[in-house]
């Protein structure tokens, strides 16, 4: 099997499993318990928090452990906006009308649906910012949007724009976008789930108030995540209970998962620059070979030469061929990839990301995404390109029968 769906998930790294193992076995204490076993679990939890903070360039107290990227996004978007809403009185309703949220039109569903929840249940003004044909949000358009909101009396707001897109790999200029948001007094959150391991996560350089990460994209298990939340912001918890994670995320702490994601993140950061260079070369070679074998293929997002693209992403449309049919043919030949976000699997609707980028519904339904794991080889990719060509020829022949 040639696995080319790393944007969906990655296997747990051996180093991560070994780091977690003690906290799944003998060191099984509850980190909130006031005895020796609990104290050791608490120490491991705080060591993991410090490790994550070191990668992010923040204080350990600004790191919140969650169940994954979706929860981190929900906590960021809802948790940052809810304190802006005064309550349910008529006067408060008027204040709510001056709270706005801006998200890009290519966000993950966790961000989009969190914003829509605030719109449905709290009357928050929500705007989906457009992107260009490469999937980029314009700094100038964000400035114009925020200027108009400020002139209209919107005194509080949040901008949430993902660092790197999960389908087409487009990387946003987060530092420039966050600077514009702060100029108008808005908070800024970025979903960095796909960026982690490939791009710098230094929150001071990015200028963000909150940042979301998911462990299973990095070689940690599914079910663990991180939210960076600046100490300068007020964050309302969305899971209530015993007050763990400094009251921001109640529930018995998953010590093993915290150790796992901290280990995976530290390893990924240590290897990041060398891995990114190697994967860029491999991806470019793969894309070049695919274009030779299947001349009709069209890359979605930005060309690698333009920069601003994840080094392991190649998202393609194959005009005239159903993307799901191509995926099935590839799987039959031993190549695993996807048609877009794993969270949208089973949907018959075309990708909202591709539609937002101006691709027609017909073409969007032909899309396939290759996201390369760091363990892939040039030989694997040569084989995958050949098998893609064979799949296309096979499907074309079926149509002629």
User: Could you state, in chain order, the average pLDDT of each consecutive group of 10 residues for the chain (401 residues)?
Assistant: 98 98 97 95 98 98 98 98 75 68 98 98 96 98 97 95 98 98 98 98 98 98 98 97 96 97 98 98 98 97 95 97 96 93 62 97 97 97 98 89 66
**Whether residues 228 and 358 fall in one domain:** no
Q: Check whether residue 232 and residue 370 sit in a common domain.
A: no
Domain that holds residue 371: 2-8+272-400
Query: Are 212 and 148 members of one domain?
Result: yes
Residue 347 is predicted with a pLDDT of: 59
* pTM, two decimal places: 0.95
Taking the C-alpha atoms of residue 188 and residue 209, their distance in angstroms, rounded to an integer, is 5
Tell me: do 82 and 189 sit in the same domain.
yes
Structural domain ending residue among the three candidates 266, 285, 301 = 266
Q: What are the residues facing 314 on neighbouring strands? A: 370
- Which residue's structure tokens are 């696995």? 3
The whole-number pLDDT of residue 159 equals: 98
343 counts as catalytic: yes
Query: What is the tally of structural domains in the chain?
Result: 2
How far, in Å, CA of 9 to CA of 168, rounded?
A: 16
pLDDT at 302: 96
Domain with 315 in it: what CATH number? 3.90.1150.10
Q: Please give the span between the terminal C-alpha atoms of the chain, in angstroms, as a whole number.
A: 30
- Asked if residue 255 and residue 285 are part of one domain, the reply reads no
Q: Distance from CA of residue 381 to its chain's centroid?
A: 25
Tell me the H-state helices in 162-308: 174-183, 203-206, 255-293
Task: Indicate whether 138 and 217 sit together in one domain.
Answer: yes
Q: Which domain CATH number covers 166?
A: 3.40.640.10
Among candidate residues 58, 224, 337, 343, the one labeled active-site is 343
Q: Which of 234, 266, 298 is the last residue of a domain?
A: 266
Residue 227 dihedral angles phi and psi, to the nearest 5°: -125, 120
Do 225 and 354 fall into the same domain? no
Residues 184 and 223 in one domain: yes
Last residue of a domain, one of 206, 241, 266: 266
Examine the domain organization and report whether 61 and 145 are in the same domain: yes
The confidence score (pLDDT) of residue 88 equals 47
Q: Do 220 and 264 touch, CB atoms closer than 8 A? A: yes
Same domain, 41 and 69: yes
> Would you state the pLDDT for residue 400?
73
- Do 363 and 327 lie in one domain? The reply is yes
Q: Are residues 242 and 277 both part of a single domain?
A: no
């Amino acid at each position: 099997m040639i696995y080319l769906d790393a944007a969906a998930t990655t296997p747990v790294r051996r180093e991560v499993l070994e780091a977690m193992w003690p906290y799944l076995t003998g060191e099984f204490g509850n980190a909130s318990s006031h005895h020796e076993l609990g104290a050791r679990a608490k120490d491991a939890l705080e060591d993991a928090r410090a490790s994550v903070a070191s990668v992010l360039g923040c204080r350990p107290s600004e790191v919140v452990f969650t169940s994954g990227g979706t929860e981190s996004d929900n906590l960021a978007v809802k948790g940052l906006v809810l304190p802006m809403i005064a309550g349910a009185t008529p006067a408060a309703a008027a204040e709510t009308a001056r709270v706005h949220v801006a998200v890009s039109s290519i966000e993950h569903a966790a961000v989009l649906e969190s914003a829509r929840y605030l719109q449905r249940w709290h009357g928050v003004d929500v705007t989906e910012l457009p992107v260009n044909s490469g999937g980029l949000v314009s700094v100038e358009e964000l400035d114009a949007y925020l200027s108009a909101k400020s002139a209209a009396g919107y005194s509080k707001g949040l901008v949430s724009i993902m660092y790197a897109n999960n389908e087409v790999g487009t990387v946003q200029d987060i530092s420039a976008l966050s600077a514009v948001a702060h100029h108008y007094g808005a908070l800024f959150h970025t979903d960095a789930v796909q960026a982690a391991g490939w791009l710098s996560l230094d929150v001071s350089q990015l200028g963000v108030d909150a940042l979301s990460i998911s462990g299973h994209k990095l070689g940690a298990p599914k079910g663990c995540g991180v939210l960076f939340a600046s100490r300068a912001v007020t964050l309302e918890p969305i899971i209530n209970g015993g007050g763990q994670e400094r009251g921001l995320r109640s529930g018995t702490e998953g010590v093993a998962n915290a150790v796992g994601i901290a280990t995976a993140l530290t390893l990924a950061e240590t290897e990041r620059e060398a891995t990114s260079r190697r994967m860029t070369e491999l991806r470019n070679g793969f894309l070049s070979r695919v274009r030779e074998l299947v001349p009709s293929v069209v890359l979605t997002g930005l060309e690698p030469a333009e920069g601003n693209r994840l080094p392991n992403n190649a998202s393609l449309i194959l005009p005239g061929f159903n993307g799901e049919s191509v995926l099935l043919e590839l799987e039959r030949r031993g190549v695993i990839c996807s048609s877009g976000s794993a969270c949208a699997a089973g949907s018959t609707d075309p990708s909202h990301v591709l539609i937002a980028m101006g691709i027609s519904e017909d073409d969007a339904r032909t899309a396939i995404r290759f996201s390369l794991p760091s363990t892939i080889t040039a030989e694997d990719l040569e084989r995958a390109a050949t098998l893609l060509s064979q799949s296309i020829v096979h499907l074309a022949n079926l149509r002629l029968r």
